[in-house]
Amino acid sequence: MRYLTPFILKDLKKKAILLSGPRQCGKTTLAKTLFASTSCYLNWDVPKDKLRISKHDWSSNATILILDELHKFKKWKNFLKGILDSDEAHPPLLITGSARLETLKNAGDALTGRYFYYRLHPIDVAESRFFLNNTPAKLRLERLLLTGGFPESFLNPEDSERLCNDRFDLVVKEDIKDLSHILSLSGFQHLIEIIRDRGPGIINYQHLATDLHISAPTAKQWIFLLEKLFLIFLVYPYEGKFSRSIRKEPKFYFYDCAASYTQDASGIKLENLVACALLKFCHFKRDTEGKKMELHYFRDRDQREVDFVVTYNRKPFWLIEVKTSDDAISPHLRYLVDRSECKQAFQLVYKLEKEYQSRNIAVMDLANWLDNLHSL
């Protein structure tokens, strides 16, 4: 059972549920765990199911109606609106998909108010204990650095690299054509190779444009498309009242924390893993409780930088610095703590001998902190 299952079951009694997330992160598997003899599961990719969906051929007495990959139906929004607004009885409704469902959430639609929206993320350290129950958090973290958090890769480490590459190829071959009129798929593939080679970090659209022989606006458009397709996510700078915070470009991270080609497993990939866990936490709080939590980073014109700023209602909630082995508190983190309203700050250290507290900053073991993230 995945971490969203009990929340989805509860909300299905109130409204339709739209469930989105990266390809192969477990949406269909989660949906099928809700499947019982009295449920109805229909997949748009299956010809006979497609026909049944088009004809509304399901029992109104089904305990749950699950429509998988429905976003591939061009008129799916109007189709859903018709079902939800119909006077005819229909079962509780769960719709799964990826990029198009995310677009609907961001753009607003006539379906507004008729559904709850959930985002399913790959496995993180906290969730990994349900798959490797007797394994220490540190070893589970190390496995995630190697395999990433996509379930099939995480559970089959020997195939993880091949599965990751196949996932990127599948998105380019199928989803790009579905969402965009990009004329140069080879150029788009080159972009993916570039960012996997360089690893997560601040995006310079002009440099990307030069490397790809395209314009900077086109490079920006392509990056945003990668975000819509759940290959990467963008983290924007936190400004607040800091007038000297001038960095405007976002950072990017992979949803698959092992996707970068870099071999620096305890550096870039470690930061990516933490970013994935924090974004998952923010989305979980928003989707299940309605809390407006967002993930940012901080960097000012004096080159002071803090890895992550988690905000709640646009105010700093957590300040977080990630270190491989340095347990001396970062002066940049101290600077931001002293000048912000945030009273909870953490320096998370991958290789830490002893945890300690210094004023408002807690120096903590990274693996254990992530393992208990949802209880903080």
Q: Tell me: the pLDDT tens digits for 234-254?
A: 999 998 765 555 567 899 999
pLDDT at site 343: 74
Question: Does 278 have pLDDT greater than 80?
Answer: yes
Of 211, 184, 179, the residue nearest 195 (C-alpha)? 211
* Distance in angstroms (rounded) separating the CA atoms of residues 44 and 316: 43
Tell me which amino acid residue 218 is. Answer: T
Residue labelled with tokens 């305990």: 63
- Report the share of the chain in percent with pLDDT over 90: 57
Residue 93, beta-bridge partner list:
65
pLDDT at site 101: 63
Q: Which of 9-13, 30-34, 251-255: highest mean pLDDT? A: 251-255
* Distance in angstroms (rounded) separating the CA atoms of residues 332 and 338: 10
Asked if 17 contacts 118 with a C-beta cutoff of 8 angstroms, the reply is yes
CATH 3.40.50.300 in the chain is located at 5-119
User: What value does the mean pLDDT take over residues 88-116?
Assistant: 71
CB atoms < 10 A from the CB of 204, how many?
Answer: 13
Q: How confident is the model at residue 61 (pLDDT cuts 50, 70, 90)?
A: confident
Calculate the average pLDDT of the chain: 88
pLDDT in tens, 253-266: 999 999 998 876 55
Q: Which range is least confidently modeled, 217-221, 240-244, 259-263, 273-277? A: 240-244
pLDDT at site 88: 67
Superfamily for the 5-119 domain: P-loop containing nucleotide triphosphate hydrolases (3.40.50.300)
pLDDT at site 69: 84
pLDDT at site 38: 80
pLDDT at site 262: 80
Q: How confident is the model at residue 147 (pLDDT cuts 50, 70, 90)?
A: very high
What's phi and psi for 144, nearest 5 deg? -65, -40
Question: Does 281 have pLDDT greater than 50?
Answer: yes
Q: Which range is least confidently modeled, 119-128, 185-194, 235-244, 326-335? A: 235-244
Question: Does 192 have pLDDT greater than 90?
Answer: yes
pLDDT at site 107: 46
Q: How confident is the model at residue 104 (pLDDT cuts 50, 70, 90)?
A: low
Residue 77 token pair: 């929004």
pLDDT higher for 188 or 369? 369
* Distance in angstroms (rounded) separating the CA atoms of residues 105 and 110: 11
pLDDT at site 241: 66
User: CA 156, 159, 161, 167 torsion: positive or negative?
Assistant: negative
User: What value does the mean pLDDT take over residues 44-68?
Assistant: 89
